[in-house]
Amino acid sequence: QSVLTQPPSASGTPGQRVTISCSGNSSNIGKNYVAWYRQLPGTAPKLLIYRNNQRPSGVPDRFSGATSGTSASLAISGLRSDDEAEYYCAAWDDSLSGPVFGTGTEVTVL
Amino acid sequence: QVQLQESGPGLVKPSQTLSLTCAVSGVSINSLGSHWYWLRQAPGKGREWIGHIFHTGSAYYNPSLRNRLTIFLDTSKNQFSLKLTSVSASDTAIYYCARNKGDAWFDPWGQGTLVTVSS
């Protein structure tokens, strides 16, 4: 059911910057805001970014979001071992009249 | 602090009805502008929007589930629920409830509850 495409995995060493891409189309990312979430197995998803590049209170500025056309990206700078998790994007889809989600990216800290 | 907690049976037989409830604390579910969602993730599959309901009680459903799905509010208990009829193995998933704050901005989410459809 995932409509937004992400790479299955990404990795980096501590302190590095990792960027995760999210590709959609003109019905979703091309027209609507993107959000990013982080999830560990068995836990509730946590909001990292909303409205393309806004961080909720409590999310460090190491996390940043950007969009360009029908794609979005999440950057994690100063990578830490506790950043290991699954990250996924989401956007409203005008064709569905509902939200669609990314395929998810597992981030590994080497 | 707003918190959501899903509850329901972990196992449902094929062709039966799945009923789940999401208990909300920290905010009234019928406060102006509140949008409450159900989402799910089947094993090995992506996340899927099931449907949502506004504080007014108006509900909107994923077209793929519309003819089997009902979402409703219980304001007396400050919770919202879903009923999915005629379930099959393809409905096996972790089911989440979440508050929507606009577009695909969900915060917070419930922990999720695993529902298995099996005889």
Q: Does A49 touch chain B (CB under 8 A)?
A: no
Which residues of B have a CB under 8 Å from any CB of A?
Answer: 37, 39, 45-49, 51-52, 60, 62-63, 96, 98, 101-112
Residues of B with Cβ-Cβ distance to A98 under 8 angstroms? 49, 51-52, 60, 62
Indicate the average pLDDT of chain A.
96
* CA nearest neighbour of A19 among A53, A52, A64: A64
Look at residue B53 in the predicted model and tell me its pLDDT. Answer: 97
Tell if the CB–CB gap between B111 and A43 is shorter than 8 Å: yes
Residue type, B63: P
Number of neighbouring beta carbons within 10 Å of residue B20: 23
CB within 8 Å: A97 and B60? yes
A16's tokens: 């590095």
- Report the pLDDT value the prediction gives residue A65, as an integer from 0 to 100: 98
pLDDT band at A1 (very low <50, low <70, confident <90, very high): low
Does residue A39 have a pLDDT over 70?
yes
Q: Which residues contact B48 (CB under 8 A, 6 or more apart)?
A: A1, A101, B39, B40, B41, B42, B62, B93
* Contact assignment for A47 to B47 by CB distance below 8 Å: no
Whole-number pLDDT of residue B34: 84
Burial class (CB in 10 A: 0-12, 13-18, 19+), B27: middle
| pLDDT score of A2 more than 70 | no
For A44-81, write each residue's pLDDT tens digit: 999 999 999 999 999 999 999 999 999 999 999 999 99
What is the distance, to the nearest Å, from the Cα of residue B85 to the centroid of all Cα atoms in its chain? 14
Contact list in B for residue A1 (CB cut-off 8 A) is 45-48
Supply the pLDDT for residue A48.
98
pLDDT for A84-94, tens place per residue?
Answer: 999 999 999 99
Size of interface A-B (CB pairs under 8 A): 79
Which residues of chain B have a pLDDT value below 70? none
pLDDT band with cut points at 50, 70 and 90 for residue A97: very high
Maximal C-alpha separation, chain B: 42
**Is A88 an 8 Å CB contact of chain B?**
yes
Tokens of B83: 């009923």
Closest listed residue to residue A21, CA positions, set A9, A39, A31, A13 = A9
The contacts of residue B76 (CB under 8 Å, 6+ apart) are none
